[in-house]
Amino acid sequence: MSSADEQRRVGVESCGVPNVNRERGQRQVFCGLAGIVWLHRKIQDAFFLVVGSRTCAHLLQSAAGVMIFAEPRFATAILQERDLAGLADCNQELDRVVADVLERRSDIKTLFLVGSCPSEVIKLDLSKAAERLSETHQGRVRVLDYSASGLETTFTQGEDVCLMSLTPQLPLLAEGESSLLVVGTLPDVVEDQFARIFRDLGIGPVHFLPPRQSTELPPVGKGSRVLLAQPFLGETARALQKRGATLLDAPYPLGIEGTLGWLKAAADAWGVSEERLREVTAAPIARAERGLARQRELLAGKRITFLPDSQLEIPIARFLARECGMELVEVATPFLDRQLMESELQLLPSDLRLTEGQDVERQLDRVREDRPDLTVCGLGLANPLEAEGLRTKWSIELVFSPIHGFDQAADLAELFARPLVRGALLQV
C-alpha cells in the first residue's frame, strides 16, 4: 500500500462531521458578478449585460479589464438618475440598450441580463424583460436573466445562478434514455480528460453544462444523472432535479481521492464493476501519485488557513490534508450547503475549526494569532498579509486554473507549494 493510500485509510477512520461555527460581520468577498469573468470565456457566443450602477461596471473592468479586448463580451447598462426617478421607463431603456448591444455584436446567440444590487433594490423585473426581449429578437438570440447581486450571491454563486437560468432552456431528454450530465465550468482540457475516462468506463452519453457554445445545450430529463464538478452549484442542482434529473452523491473531483470518488459515483450509477474502474483509473492515478509526491514533500506538516471565498475551500482543504499532509488550522467558507457537502465533510477531521460566513477583522486577528504557514485569501488581503510576514495563496486563482481530475492533482498542490517555494527562494 502506498503512503497516500494509507493516509486515505487513516483519514476515513478518524472521521466524523465537524461542527460549524457561524460568523457574521464585514465580509471581504466578491459578489456574483465576478462569475462573468470566467463565464464569458467558457460560453463563447454569450454576452453578459449587467443592469446596475457604475460600481458594477467598475468591478467588472477592474477584474477583467487588464486584458485588452477587441470585442468586449460583457457590458453594463448603468442606471441613471432619470431611471431611478421614474422619468424614464426602465423597460424601454433596457430594450434600447439591448438593441444597441445586438447591433454591435451580431454573432451573439445568448444574452444574459444580469441583475445587481441596485436593480434588486429598485425591483426591476429582469425576468419579464428577458421574456419580452426573447420574443422581440426571436430566432436570433435567446435572452435570459439571473441575479448576481452582492445582496444575494457570493463570488462563485454567480455561476450557480447563471447555470440555473439555463436549466429551463435545456431540451428534454427522451423518455427511456439516460445520460450523464457534468455540471460546473471546467477548463476545456479537463473536460476532455473526463470525457475520455467516461468513454473508457463505458459511461455515456456525457454532456457538460455549461457548454462551450450556448446553442449546444445538453438535454435533461428523468434519465439524467448529474455529477457536480463544482461545489457551489446548489441552486442549479435543485433546478435540474426539478426537471427529473438525479443528483449523484460524490465528493468533488479534486485530488486523487476526490476524483476517484467522483468517478465511482458515476460508475456505480452505470453498474460499472470495481475492477473496470480500477483498470481505467490505474494509470492516471499512478501518474498523479508520482507528481504529487514531489509537492507533498514541500507541503507535508505545513499549517494552512482558508478564508472564505468560493466554496471550494472544503474540498481543497480535504485534498491538502489527506493527500498532501497539510495541517488545517481553520477552514472558512462563505456558504455551506450541507446536502452538497455531505460526502466532503465525512472526510474532514472531526475537530476541524470550520467556519461559515465571515467577520473579517476578527478572522484576521485569528490568522495573526495562529500564524499559519500559508493563508488562502482574496486579493484584497493577500499583499497586506504578505507585508505582515505571512505567506499567502490568493484564492481566486483556484477558479481560474485547471485543478480538477487526476492529471491536475499535482498542479493543484503546486499552486499551494509555489508561494512557499518562492518565500524560500527570494533573498531580497
Partner 1 sequence: MQLTLWSYEGPPHIGAMRLAASMKGVHLVLHAPQGDTYADLLFTMIERRPQRPPVSYTTFQARELGTDTAELVKTTIQQTYDRFKPSVLMVGESCTAELIQDQPGALAQGMGLPVPVLPLELPAYARKENWGANETFYQLIRGLLRSRVPAPGSERELRAEGARPKANLLGASSLGFRCRDDVVEVTRLLDSVGVDVNVVAPLGASPEDLLRIPEADFNVCMYPEIADQSCHWLERMFGQPMVKTVPIGIGATRDFLHEVGRAAGIEIDTTKDPIWSRMPWYSRSVDSTYLTGKRVFIFADATHAVAAARIAAEELGFTVVGLGTYAREFARDVREAAKRYGVDPLITDDYLEVEARVAEVQPELVLGTQMERHIAKRLGVPCAVISAPVHIQDFPSRYAPQMGFEGANVIFDTWVHPLMMGLEEHLITMFREDFEFHDAATPSHLGPGTRKTQSEDAEPAAAEQAARADDAVMAWAPEAEQELKKIPFFVRGKARRNTERFAEECGIQTITVETLYDAKAHFGR
**63 lines the binding site for partner 1 (CB under 8 A):** yes
**108 lines the binding site for partner 1 (CB under 8 A):** no
Residue span 115-144 as binding mask against partner 1, x where in contact by CB under 8 A, dash where not: --xx-xxx----------------------
Q: Three cell numbers at 277?
A: 474502474
**23 lines the binding site for partner 1 (CB under 8 A):** no
In the β-sheet with 246-247, what is the strand arrangement from edge to edge?
A: 206-209, 179-183, 224-228, 246-247
Among 4, 59, 345, 352, contact with partner 1 (rule: CB under 8 A)? 59
For residue 117, say whether it is annotated as part of any ligand binding site: yes
Q: Which residues contact 84 (CB under 8 A, 6 or more apart)?
A: 122
For residue 377, say whether it is annotated as part of any ligand binding site: no
Instruction: Answer whether 42's CB lies under 8 Å from 213's CB.
Output: no
Among 40, 83, 217, 299, contact with partner 1 (rule: CB under 8 A)? 83
What residues numbered 291-350 form the site for partner 1, per CB under 8 A?
Answer: none
What residues numbered 347-366 form the site for partner 1, per CB under 8 A?
Answer: 361
| Nearest residue to 339 (alpha-carbon basis) of 185, 190, 226 | 226
**398 lines the binding site for partner 1 (CB under 8 A):** no
**70 lines the binding site for partner 1 (CB under 8 A):** yes
Among 3, 5, 19, 100, contact with partner 1 (rule: CB under 8 A)? 100
Minimum separation from the CB atom of position 353 to partner 1 (A): 22
Interatomic CA distance for residues 225 and 202, integer angstroms: 15
| Nearest residue to 160 (alpha-carbon basis) of 173, 171, 146 | 146
The helix (run of H) or strand (run of E) holding residue 59 is helix 54-64
Angle (deg, nearest 10), helices 90-104 and 126-136: 50
The helix (run of H) or strand (run of E) holding residue 317 is helix 313-324
Q: Three cell numbers at 292?
A: 504529487
Among 69, 140, 189, 400, contact with partner 1 (rule: CB under 8 A)? 69
Interatomic CA distance for residues 338 and 219, integer angstroms: 27
Instruction: Answer whether 231's CB lies under 8 Å from 252's CB.
Output: yes
Question: Toward partner 1, which CB reaches closer, 31 or 272?
Answer: 31
Interatomic CA distance for residues 233 and 161, integer angstroms: 8
What residues numbered 29-48 form the site for partner 1, per CB under 8 A?
Answer: 29-34
Question: Toward partner 1, which CB reaches closer, 100 or 200?
Answer: 100
For residue 162, say whether it is annotated as part of any ligand binding site: no
Per DSSP, the three-state class of 236 is helix
**149 lines the binding site for partner 1 (CB under 8 A):** yes
Question: Toward partner 1, which CB reaches closer, 264 or 366?
Answer: 366
Residue type, 120: E
Interface positions with partner 1 (CB under 8 A): 26-34, 51, 53-55, 57-59, 61-63, 65-66, 68-72, 75-81, 83-84, 88, 90, 93-94, 96-97, 100-101, 104, 117-118, 120-122, 149-152, 154, 361, 378-384, 386-387
Annotated binding site for [4Fe-4S] cluster: 31, 56, 117
Annotated binding site: 31, 56, 117
